[in-house]
Amino acid sequence: MSRSVAASKIIHIFPGQGSQYRGMGSDLVEEFASAREIFEQASEIVGYDMGKLCFEDRRGELKLTRFTQPALLTHEVACSEALRSLVGSGARPAVAAGHSLGEYAALVSAGALTFEDALRLVSERGRLMGELGTGSMLATTLDRPAATALADRHCCAIAGCNLPEQTVIAGQDEDLEALADELKTAHPGKRAIPLNTEGAFHTYYMVRAAQEFRGMLDATEFAGLELEVPSNYTGTMHVDDAAAIRSRLFFQLFNPVLWVDCMRAAIGTGAGTVIELGGGVGKGDGPATKRPNLGSIVLKTLKSLGAQAKYLPAINAAGIRAAAEYIEQQTTP
């Protein structure tokens, strides 16, 4: 038998806000009954037509955090279920990791949350972040120490560490503008790219949202973890304890997303295959034109660690079929 995919460990990763687009999931529901069921279930839970929101977005609501988060979670779980319908449980992942919002999809994949509970949580999370959020976010090509020194001078904060030299800074708009001006002279050659968000997420500006969200977290049932899941808040694996998971999700709202550490922890388990599920970025129109949001980060992390793993984007119907075919090839005698 050829080398087993399951034996070399599969990692499923789920992107966060910013990877939503009009049309996401429209190809899935045409091809996979499991995806149609997820979208139908989502509509019943949230009280509006999730398909129309994701496929058509006639009122431009996908960019609003209160809609972005439940829509992305739905697409990510639909992708995951579509892949499962093709490969079954024989190639189940050993690790599920998610970036910010994606951590909830990872916890669904790991069995700690039902899709229904996760969708209710992220719907409320998105509402609070959108309503209470102020400021904006800036992705820089600075390392964390340099970004921190700059942020401290302008009352801003570190919101995410995606790579050793890809750090997100967040704050009030006027503070970020001053910071970006200083970056040009203090760090020639480094870039700062504005992110389209409704607030300075994962910073102290989200403390009130987290406080209001805590009650819903506390009231939600968390089951035991069936897979390993890295915590965005700590950058290490979640412990299999409901109270600890709730606490880390609470802190995640107003602390940096330590994605570089999450990826190192996940890949360090001995990953042979990394599959990205859900979302998509790029200027093209429709699922087939989109590229994966986290692909570049995954490949750079693998290279930095000297790790060998196959990366597969399963973000649309074609990608899901390709990922399933690869898994089947690796597990066929």
Task: Examine the residue annotation and report whether 100 is marked as an active-site residue of this protein.
Answer: yes
* Average pLDDT rounded to a whole number, residues 181-188: 96
Chain-centroid distance, C-alpha 22? 18
Residues 292, 293, 298, 299: is their CA dihedral positive or negative? positive
* Average pLDDT rounded to a whole number, residues 171-188: 96
Share of the chain above pLDDT 70, in %: 96
DSSP 291: B
Average pLDDT along the chain: 94
Question: What DSSP string runs through 181-221?
Answer: HHHHHHSTT--EEEE--SS-TTSGGGHHHHHHHHHHHHHS-
Which residue has 């839970």 as its token pair? 45
pLDDT for residue 2: 38
Instruction: Decide if 10 contacts 273 (C-beta within 8 A).
Output: yes
Structural domains in the chain, CATH included, are 5-132+203-331 (3.40.366.10), 136-195 (3.30.70.250)
Task: Examine the residue annotation and report whether 187 is marked as an active-site residue of this protein.
Answer: no
Which residue out of 12, 75, 154, 202 is catalytically annotated? 202
pLDDT for residue 171: 97
- Structure-token pair, residue 229: 């899941």
- Structure-token pair, residue 16: 């966060």
Q: How far apart are CA 183 and CA 296, in angstroms?
A: 24
pTM over 0.85: yes
* Average pLDDT rounded to a whole number, residues 17-36: 97
Instruction: Decide if 298 contacts 311 (C-beta within 8 A).
Output: yes
**For 35-74, what is each residue's pLDDT tens digit?**
999 999 999 999 999 999 999 999 999 999 999 999 999 9
**For 122-153, what is each residue's pLDDT tens digit?**
999 999 999 998 999 999 999 999 999 999 99
Which residue out of 80, 100, 109, 123 is catalytically annotated? 100
Of 218, 262, 256, nearest to 236 (Cα)? 262
Residue 305 half-sphere exposure toward CB, CA atoms < 13 A? 21
* Average pLDDT rounded to a whole number, residues 237-266: 97
